[in-house]
Amino acid sequence: MAAAPEFMYGTAWKEERTPALTELALRSGFRAIDTANQRRHYFEAGVGQALAAAYQAGIVTRADLFLQTKFTYRPGQDHRLPYDPEAELSAQVAQSMASSLEHLGTDHVDSYVLHGPASGHGWTEYDAEVWEAMVRERGAGRTRQLGVSNVSLRHLFQLEASGAELPAFVQNRCFARLGWDRDVRAYCAERKIVYQGFSLLTANPEVLHHPLVARIAARLEATPAQVVFRFARAVGMLPLTGTSSAEHMKQDLASLTLSLSAEEARAIESLSG
Ligand SMILES: NC(=O)c1ccc[n+]([C@@H]2O[C@H](COP(=O)([O-])OP(=O)(O)OC[C@H]3O[C@@H](n4cnc5c(N)ncnc54)[C@H](OP(=O)(O)O)[C@@H]3O)[C@@H](O)[C@H]2O)c1
């Protein structure tokens, strides 16, 4: 497996531009790619086309990459399903995984994520069945690690209380006004779960326009978006970007080397919540 990723390129909402943009991300230096077997928002086979092109061009090998995909329940899908909706949930997981591996042209992914629990209120028996099936996929070598997405602290506590194996990753939308998902991040930190944050820019326009962030950006000769991504790393997150811009791809990766002080990171952390 590739080294632990520092930044992840997200492939949602790119439709027919998915192959070209994913290949551009690889050429720009991204080595971790996030997708999902959910045709409604992702074109996973297009990600696979980009990978094949990048291997062919000698940009990367499979071993250089961290590939993450997801299992999505029926209500999150449109009519383009990667499984038989009449099948048991555990069979749907196996079918979705087989389809992902085919799309991505690989025999394993590095991380397999439950896209979202069945209910917003808690960890249900459906989630328990799916999670068990995902653990079996890991046991069979089709993924190295497992994750959950769009979860609350309650979901995580209930999953843990059920005695099930804990995820290696939690992927959540990260709102600054909720202390950048402070409670879930603290839960993850205590258990060595890596927190993946998405919508760091789009969920937090007030931060991008905040004078504190503008001051730090000016000091670092960087953009506010770069400051947000650097901050995310500083507090232990693995950030995602889904930018379609070559310039932003470069800027996002370059943000990793900005010298943000611990005091600045603390100030950003408590900006709006
Ligand atoms: N688990 C889930 O349910 C879930 C949900 C949503 C997203 N995700 C994952 O997270 C990924 C990222 O999604 P996101 O919601 O964070 O939004 P995003 O797709 O990364 O969108 C970021 C927006 O900010 C703009 N932007 C401006 N300056 C930028 C800069 N320097 N760097 C990057 N973007 C900049 C981008 O415009 P330009 O394109 O012009 O740069 C874009 O419009 C997705 O592709 C997907 O893989 C997962």
Distance 136 CA to ligand 1 centre (A): 31
Ligand 1 pocket, residues with Cβ under 6 angstroms: 10-12, 34, 115, 149-150, 171, 198-202, 223, 225, 240-245, 248, 251-252
Distance 232 CA to ligand 1 centre (A): 14
pLDDT of residue 3: 72
Residues 6+ apart with CB under 8 A from 91: 83, 84
pLDDT of residue 2: 63
Segments in the chain below pLDDT 70: 1-2
- Residue ranges in the chain assigned as alpha helix (H): 18-28, 44-56, 89-104, 125-139, 153-161, 182-190, 205-208, 211-220, 224-234, 246-254, 262-269
C-alpha distance from residue 156 to each of 49, 68, 122, 153, 268 (Å): 35, 20, 9, 5, 26
Pick from 41, 67, 230, 243 the residue to mutate for probing ligand 1's pocket: most ligand atoms within 8 Å of its CB: 243
Cβ-contact 54, 63 below 8 angstroms: no
Distance 229 CA to ligand 1 centre (A): 12
pLDDT of residue 273: 73
Distance 13 CA to ligand 1 centre (A): 9
The enclosing H or E element of 67 equals strand 66-71
